[in-house]
Amino acid sequence: MSSYDVAVIGSGPGGYVAAIRCAQLGMKTAIIEKYNTLGGTCLNVGCIPSKALLDSSHHYEDAIKHFDEHGIEVGDVKFNLEKMIARKQGVVDMTTKGIEFLMGKNKIDVYQGVGSFIDATHIQIDGEKKETIEAKNTIVATGSKPSTLPFITLDKERIITSTEALKLKEVPKHMIVIGGGVIGLELGQVYKRLGAEVTVVEYMDRLIAGMDSAQSKEIQKALKKQKMKFALSHAVTAVERNGDEITVKATNNKKNAEVEFKGDYVLVAVGRHAYTEGLNLEAVGIPTDKRGKIEVNEHLQTNVSNIYAIGDVIKGAMLAHKAEEEGVFVAETLAGQKPHINYNLIPGVVYTWPEVASVGKTEEQLKEAGVVYKSGQFPMRALGRSRASGDIDGFVKILADKTTDEVLGVHMVGARVADLISEGVTAMEFRASAEDIARMSHAHPTYAEAVKEAALAATEDRPLHI
Ligand code: FAD
């Protein structure tokens, strides 16, 4: 039987990063993955394929809607969905192969099969063959699966999750998206650009409910301009399929009225739940909370001292970069170091166009906590860069402590804000004041100038270009 210092169960961004960092720190490491490609949800059916389709559909939309205003005449533009999906798969394959390479480079043994606990130091792997390995420590990184509502039967043909939406064979005529969160908006926008009518039905009274409400309003306004439809404050009560027709029934909570939406595809994007099936947690006595997540302490250690858990399978934001930070954190903890994660500074991003990005506290959170703050906001439309590219929707908003000027939150909507949010993270990590950002030179013309201007607005209400 092979013995390891560390076994990692699950090869998503949490698991594979944990394995690499363990190996870097000199631990003999194994990684166990039940599928035959590495990379987990993120690389196979999450972050990477969704961004590939967002990019392809964005190019198409530019060609049919925006090339003309730039003076580019291309005639009759068509897309080939099969080719687009095949390209997406090519990007996924290249990326997952990259993880295989990294495992080899770091001398990490890869086992393909379902890993389940025999006891606290032995794991059975059920793959093409059955084998058992011994591990002094185990990191559980088994991730999550799409959630549904109790009364919805996912047939995976027309009543689908994000996984199926990434490989449709036709563009829906009318896609009803249940859930106005990140995944619903991103995939809704892909199919809207390709010609589908898209209606987003959301229970809350705003989109992307966890972010600053100004962002919710701005992204809704921008997506409405792109002809996406929204039914907010609607509680879905039933989803029925009759042949190719789908009926979504909902209660309009504002009007207390029953409504129906008819379409040919329903994308159920109501969140994801932790995945622990097959792990045999009972054998080691590790509890899960009422949402099915593995309980861990501040060291991400379960109640069994040599078993840790990270990523989507534990509490916190279900994001790839959060899982990665936790992977590094546990590896360094095992090596006797004292790592730290600032969960307040894990950025959140929606990769629609315009993009939405956020870090730190929202205005709602600051108000609730009774923090006295000031706010500076700058519209993208006032930037030369935005006018040059034609991407004028959005803003940057900086929230800072009223007394100390320390930046407490940065919230953005606009072109390339998924990349711009790093400036907010860096500033907050170094506990910058709004004035610190305001006094830094930002290249002209860039979208980043909106960050400087918002910081100027937050400092003494002295933006230069508005
Ligand atoms: P996962 O990536 O879910 O990996 C878990 C792995 O464990 C899987 O490969 C699974 O097969 C394996 N496994 C499970 N049980 C066992 C077992 N018993 N034995 C062996 N293997 C097992 N996040 C972002 O940060 N940015 C994005 O842009 C983004 N876009 C997304 C788009 C979509 C459509 C979706 C669905 C998700 C997106 N996410 C995004 C979320 C992101 O994918 C997850 O937060 C991330 O993958 C979590 O990583 P993880 O390592 O915890 O688990």
The ipTM is 0.99
Residue showing tokens 């909902």: 250
Q: Which pLDDT belongs to residue 131?
A: 97
Going by pLDDT thresholds of 50, 70 and 90, the confidence category of residue 16 is very high
CB 411 within 8 A of CB 428: no
**Please, what is the average pLDDT of the chain?**
97
Asked whether 84 lines ligand 1 (CB < 6 A), one says no
> Any idea which residues carry the catalytic annotation?
444
**Residue-wise pLDDT tens digits, 366-390:** 999 999 999 999 999 999 999 999 9
Binding site for NAD(+): which residues? 179-186, 202, 271
When the candidates are 3.40.50.720, 3.40.718.10, 3.30.390.30, 3.30.230.30, the CATH number that belongs to 348-460 is 3.30.390.30
Q: Report yes or no on whether pTM surpasses 0.95.
A: yes
**Residue-wise pLDDT tens digits, 136-181:** 999 999 999 999 999 999 999 999 999 999 999 999 999 999 999 9
Sheet holding 234-242, edge to edge: 234-242, 245-252, 257-263
* Ligand 1 atom nearest residue 114's Cα: 19
**Residue-wise pLDDT tens digits, 312-329:** 999 999 999 999 999 999
Q: Which pLDDT belongs to residue 48?
A: 98
Going by pLDDT thresholds of 50, 70 and 90, the confidence category of residue 431 is very high
Q: Specify the domain boundaries for CATH 3.30.390.30 within the chain.
A: 348-460
**Residue-wise pLDDT tens digits, 447-466:** 999 999 999 999 989 999 98
Q: Which pLDDT belongs to residue 168?
A: 98
In the predicted model, what is the mean pLDDT of residues 89-115?
98
When the candidates are 3.40.50.300, 3.40.980.10, 3.50.50.60, 3.30.420.40, the CATH number that belongs to 149-269 is 3.50.50.60
29 CA → ligand 1 middle, Å: 20
**Residue-wise pLDDT tens digits, 229-287:** 999 999 999 999 999 999 999 999 999 999 999 999 999 999 999 999 999 999 999 99
- Tell how far CA 46 is from the center of its chain: 8
323 CA → ligand 1 middle, Å: 9
Please name which of 232, 7, 255, 278 lies closest in space to residue 116, comparing C-alpha atoms.
278
Q: Specify the domain boundaries for CATH 3.50.50.60 within the chain.
A: 2-146+273-335, 149-269
Percent of the chain with pLDDT over 90: 100
Residues 6+ apart with CB under 8 A from 98: none
Q: Which pLDDT belongs to residue 211?
A: 96
| CA pair distance 117, 140, nearest whole angstrom | 10
In the predicted model, what is the mean pLDDT of residues 421-432?
98
| CA pair distance 350, 262, nearest whole angstrom | 27
* Beta-bridge mates of residue 406: 433
CB 57 within 8 A of CB 64: no
**Which of 31, 47, 138, 162 should be mutated for ligand 1, with most atoms under 8 A from CB?**
47
466 CA → ligand 1 middle, Å: 43
Percent of the chain with pLDDT over 70: 100
Strands 407-414 and 395-401: antiparallel
143 CA → ligand 1 middle, Å: 5
Residue showing tokens 């003999």: 28
When the candidates are 3.40.50.300, 1.10.540.10, 3.20.20.70, 3.50.50.60, the CATH number that belongs to 2-146+273-335 is 3.50.50.60
**Which of 11, 16, 42, 117 should be mutated for ligand 1, with most atoms under 8 A from CB?**
42
Asked whether 318 lines ligand 1 (CB < 6 A), one says yes
397 — phi, psi (to 5°)? -125, 130
Please name which of 201, 214, 199, 212 lies closest in space to residue 253, comparing C-alpha atoms.
201
CA distances from 92 to 46, 187, 199 (A): 10, 17, 28
Atom 36, ligand 1: residue with shortest CA distance: 46
Q: Which pLDDT belongs to residue 337?
A: 98
Going by pLDDT thresholds of 50, 70 and 90, the confidence category of residue 196 is very high
